[in-house]
Amino acid sequence: MTDLRLDAPFLLGRAAALQQVLRAARLVAATDVTVLIQGESGTGKELLARFVHAGSAQAAGPFVAINCAAIPDQLLESELFGYRRGAFTGATQDYAGRIRAAAGGTLFLDEIGELSLMAQAKLLRFLESGEIHPVGEARPVTVRTRLIAATHRNLLQLVREQRFRADLYYRLQVVPLEMPPLRERLEDIPLLFAHYAAEAAARYGRPCVSLDRRALARLTAYAWPGNVRELKNLCERLTVLHGEAGVPLGPECLPAEFAEAVPAAGESLGLFAAERRLIEEALQQARGNRSQAARLLGISRDTLLYRLKKYALA
Ligand SMILES: Nc1ncnc2c1ncn2[C@@H]1O[C@H](COP(=O)(O)OP(=O)(O)OP(=O)(O)O)[C@@H](O)[C@H]1O
């Protein structure tokens, strides 16, 4: 099964919509083309970028991630392209910048839609010539690095509003990859819940929480605006607040927003069955080696042993 491959240990999911993106990502990883990853916040765009990097010829090189929305406009340009000492007030020493830090590897530019028009022009020049112009540097510097960009915005709309350069847009979206929202891969919820519940249990040293059928049905009826990140946070919250319960949690334990999510009649997913199957598959893949199976699942060996007992697999 693909979601337990060693080269992508954390990109869990069997849903066709995700597997299709992973297939395209594998193909593109082997080349050095620029990739644009689109998708809502929390869908796993950065994870996908790491997946592409891990499958590329420069996997041994650095993976440098920058969130363009988190750095103020005036700083972003020098942060990306670097500067010479004395280029401006406060530039007390040379700074190579993140593009050079990613030389021989991958530069991941998250929220690329937030780049200023000036920075967009410089980035386009870099993509076309492979050269950067650090602030205060007389000569351009050649850098070889692969660019992966991501955005949760509709870039084409920004192009129409003249807030994003059309030429950069077309240069970036040579291969567009679209991460599907979690509500379009509901069948993956039990698997993701089991994984992140186990992780939270290990982190907080508590028993692993699980959900009863009614609670799980609420999860699958919910719209998940925060996607996988929101699900991960829910696992932490339930572990902290209800980790001692020792019994599957009911819908009354879920936060208020889930009360609105009314499951369609008869809708429910077999969380226990899914969790048990996940463990069995990991053990099979690890040829019975429990430490390796725990690694594949992203949980500690102790957590695995606990769950083997719980499911009478020990
Ligand atoms: N398929 C998945 N399997 C396991 N974990 C996932 C998956 N997708 C996302 N996650 C987890 O969800 C969280 C959010 O993922 P990530 O940061 O990659 O999303 P993003 O789309 O880049 O978010 P943003 O747009 O807010 O930057 C991370 O903790 C990540 O590990």
The reply to whether 48 and 6 lie within a common domain is yes
The reply to whether 42 and 187 lie within a common domain is no
The reply to whether 243 and 287 lie within a common domain is yes
Task: Decide if pLDDT at 9 tops 90.
Answer: no
The reply to whether 191 and 174 lie within a common domain is no
Summary mean pLDDT of the chain: 88
The reply to whether 61 and 133 lie within a common domain is yes
CA 313 to chain centre: 31
Domain boundary among 180, 206, 222: 180
The reply to whether 214 and 154 lie within a common domain is no
The reply to whether 176 and 187 lie within a common domain is no
Domain boundary among 180, 205, 224: 180
- Residue 39 CA: which ligand 1 atom is closest? 21
Each residue's pLDDT tens digit, 80-139: 999 999 888 888 999 999 999 999 999 999 999 999 998 899 999 999 999 999 988 889
CA 29 to chain centre: 16
Q: Of 170, 212, 168, whose CA–CA distance to 193 is shortest?
A: 212
- Residue 48 CA: which ligand 1 atom is closest? 18
Any atom of ligand 1 within 6 Å of the Cβ of 46: yes
Residue of 2, 3, 43, 148 to mutate, ligand 1, most atoms within 8 A of C-beta: 43
The reply to whether 154 and 200 lie within a common domain is no
Check if the beta carbon of residue 4 is closer than 8 Å to that of residue 50. no
User: What was the pLDDT predicted at 311?
Assistant: 66
CATH code of 216's domain: 1.10.8.60
- Which residue's alpha carbon is nearest to atom 12 within ligand 1? 229
The reply to whether 160 and 281 lie within a common domain is no
**Can you name the residues that pair with 101 across neighbouring β-strands?**
none
User: What was the pLDDT predicted at 302?
Assistant: 78
The reply to whether 82 and 221 lie within a common domain is no
Strand order in the sheet with 106-110: 63-67, 106-110, 146-151, 35-38, 175-178
Domain boundary among 180, 208, 225: 180
Task: Decide if pLDDT at 252 tops 70.
Answer: yes
CATH code of 20's domain: 3.40.50.300
Spacing, Cα 67 to ligand 1 middle (Å): 14
- Residue 110 CA: which ligand 1 atom is closest? 27
Spacing, Cα 42 to ligand 1 middle (Å): 5
Any atom of ligand 1 within 6 Å of the Cβ of 8: no
Any atom of ligand 1 within 6 Å of the Cβ of 190: no
Any atom of ligand 1 within 6 Å of the Cβ of 181: no
In degrees, rounded to 5, the angle at the alpha carbon of residue 245 between the alpha carbons of residues 294 and 229 is 55
Q: Of 196, 164, 193, 312, whose CA–CA distance to 258 is shortest?
A: 193
Any atom of ligand 1 within 6 Å of the Cβ of 11: yes
- Residue 179 CA: which ligand 1 atom is closest? 21
Q: What is the mean pLDDT of residues 183-206?
A: 94
Q: What is the mean pLDDT of residues 159-187?
A: 94
The reply to whether 233 and 175 lie within a common domain is no
- ipTM confidence score: 0.98
Tokens of 199: 């992780």
In which domain, by residue range, is 204 found?
Answer: 183-310
The reply to whether 169 and 206 lie within a common domain is no
pTM, 2 dp = 0.81
141 in helix, strand or coil? strand
User: What was the pLDDT predicted at 265?
Assistant: 44
- Which residue's alpha carbon is nearest to atom 15 within ligand 1? 44
**Domain count across the chain:** 2
Any atom of ligand 1 within 6 Å of the Cβ of 42: yes
Any atom of ligand 1 within 6 Å of the Cβ of 235: no
